[in-house]
Structure formats: structure tokens, C-alpha cells
Amino acid sequence: MQAVSGKGGKKQYTPRDVIASCLLMSVYNDGSPGEIRARNYATHLFGAAQYAQACGPNCLDPERPFDQKVLMWVRFQSLFVCTAKRKKFFWEERRWRDKEDRFPPGGSRDWFPLLVPLPGMLERSDPFLKKYASTSARMQQVFKLCVELDSYRERLLSWVETDFAGRPGIAAITDPENFDFEIEEHCFITTSSTFPTFHVFVNPAHAMRCIVSWILALISDCTLLRLIRTYPAATTYLNRSFREIEQKAYFTASDICKSVYYYSVLNSLAYAHMLFVFIDLAKTFFEEYGAEKEIGWCQACLIATKLRIERPSKDENGKGSTRRRGTLCRVGDLLGAFERACRYRSGPVVRPRECDPQLIEGG
């Protein structure tokens, strides 16, 4: 961090310096237990996002290479943290989203703006999930939010379907030549009939766009289902029933699982840690859905991924083994952070005390 001289010779730091320092602290791993590491990652990254929001978009210039890297890091990583914390994401503000046009063109620039509303919608949903909306005005806010969540999922899944159009297809467990049996997950998934086919993505960027879209769509659907359990009349404002939304969420969770084939091939611990978080989230959904077969599949897959993470890697000559390099990506530290969002059946449901029955029925 480079200080500049201020009045009286005192050192001063620019917002760029402060944000970059917060990001460095978020990836610092001092060997603390997992829970403390997760708090360290989330706290510093969320702090960087809040500080950037307070300073305004002019504090970082995407035309400068260092600023662009800092901005893209805090932009992408803090999306996960804000979703886990259920706090509005600063990139939702128009003044920040306008910076998308100054990033290199590509799928991310067109896709990322679709993601950013979810943390804010989660934050808005929490008061209605903790205390019953006992006035007509607040009840209308609930119904409006349900429509927004439903539309959010549809936009994401529509984008994924378009992104997949004309792409390479699937890997079937009936074709063993498609699998690498030195990869722990591949050894497992070929022994199970729960998911007979798996997605084949074009490249890691394509895989990332799809799986992140599915993750956020699943969290959106589970939040919508939680709201409907509390406010059943909300379904009259939607185009589908509780069961239909739940079925959509099941297919989304299945798509996450079907990404294991491709993600486990990627030679990076960052992808392995992310995969562990995402499969754990899918398992939580299947527990709520009551899909015993899929729950068992997720549990076994998590064991396989954990074994791969702990397995020593081969040296540069392909012989012997060396300790795997660590990763600066700390998304894996969010393991379990999204669980509450997906507990749409077993979670608590608030009920009205004394209010107009017409409000309960949506009147």
C-alpha cells in the first residue's frame, strides 16, 4: 500500500489502498479453525464492498489495470458474501452497474447484471419472514416481492438456456471412455444411477456462469417457497403453484449436481472448494424436498471431493507426488452459509396474531 503525504507530513491512503488491503485480509489464512476463517473472509470482503459503496464508483477506475482487477474481485466475490449475509449488494446501484461497459466485452459483462438484485431481495424478505405482515400495505409488499423473486429465477434460467444453445452436450455414465478414473468424483458418479448424465461445458467461464446462475436461482426459489408457506395467498399473484416452484427448484439443484463431472476435471483447488460448497447447498435442498436418493448421492460426492482436495498432486514430470498448491479463493470458507436460505420446509413460519382474515387470504 503506497501512502501519499498529506497536511503536516502525515501519511494518507487512497480508497484504492484501503479496498485492496481489505481484499488482502479477506484471503489471509493463518491456520485458524474454519468458522473463524469464514468470518475473516466474509467480514473483510463485506467491509471492502461497503467502503467502496461509501466512497462511490469514482474511487476505482476500470481503465487502470490494477483498479480493474480490484474492482472485478470485489464485484464477484462480494456477491457471494452479500448473498450469504442477505444484505443488499452495492453493484445493484445504477452508478456502479454503469461500469460494466468499461470491462472487457464477453459473457460476464452481459450476464453479471442479472445476478445482482438477489441479495437485496433476500434482505427485504427477512422482515416478512420474522414478523407477519399485518397490514394491507405490507401484504402487498410481500406479494410484489414474490413476483420479483419468481421473475428473477426465470430470467436467470432463460439466460442459461440461451448460453447452452448449440453447445457440447452431455457425458453419460454408460460411456466409460468419457470419464477419468483417477478423479475421485468420476469414480463415484459412474457407480450411481441417480444422475445418469452430466453437463459438458465449453470452458471454465461457461461452467462458472451456469453453476452460479443455478445456485442463485435455487436460493431465490427457496426464499420464494418460504414466503409462500407464510403467505399462501401469494400464489394468486404468480403463474405457478408451490409444488410447481418446488419442482423447478428440484431441477435446478439437479443441474448443480450434474456439473460435478466438468468441475472435478478442472485442476484447481479453488474449483474443488467451490464445488464442495455448491453440492452441500444442493444436499440441503434435497433434504427439504425429501429426495432420499439425491441426498445420498450428494453425501457420497462430498466425500469424493474432500478426498480429491486432500490428495497430493503429481510433480511437473507426472511422477511422485507433491503437496497441492493452496488457493487464494476463499468461497469455500462459506460452507454452510447458505443453508438457512434453503430451509423452506423445516424452518420456522411466523403466523398472524390478530389481523383481518382477508389479509391472510390475500383480500
Residue 145 to residues 128, 138, 139, 216, 234: CA-CA distances in angstroms?
A: 10, 11, 10, 16, 10
For the chain, give the mean pLDDT.
Answer: 84
Report the greatest alpha carbon distance in the chain: 74
| pLDDT classification of 362: cutoffs 50, 70, 90 | very low
State pLDDT tens for residues 145-178. 999 999 999 999 998 888 777 666 789 999 989 9
Contact criterion met (CB below 8 Å) for 52 and 1: no
pLDDT at 292 over 70: yes
- Provide the terminal-to-terminal Cα distance of the chain, rounded to the nearest Å: 59
Residue 188 to residues 251, 259, 318: CA-CA distances in angstroms?
A: 21, 14, 24
Q: What is the pTM of this model?
A: 0.87
State pLDDT tens for residues 310-357. 886 554 555 544 445 556 667 777 878 888 889 999 988 888 764 444
Q: What is the pLDDT of residue 77?
A: 86
Closest CA to 110 of 180, 158, 168: 158
Q: What is the pLDDT of residue 142?
A: 96
Q: What is the pLDDT of residue 8?
A: 53
> If you average pLDDT over residues 97-121, what whole number do you get?
80
| pLDDT classification of 139: cutoffs 50, 70, 90 | very high
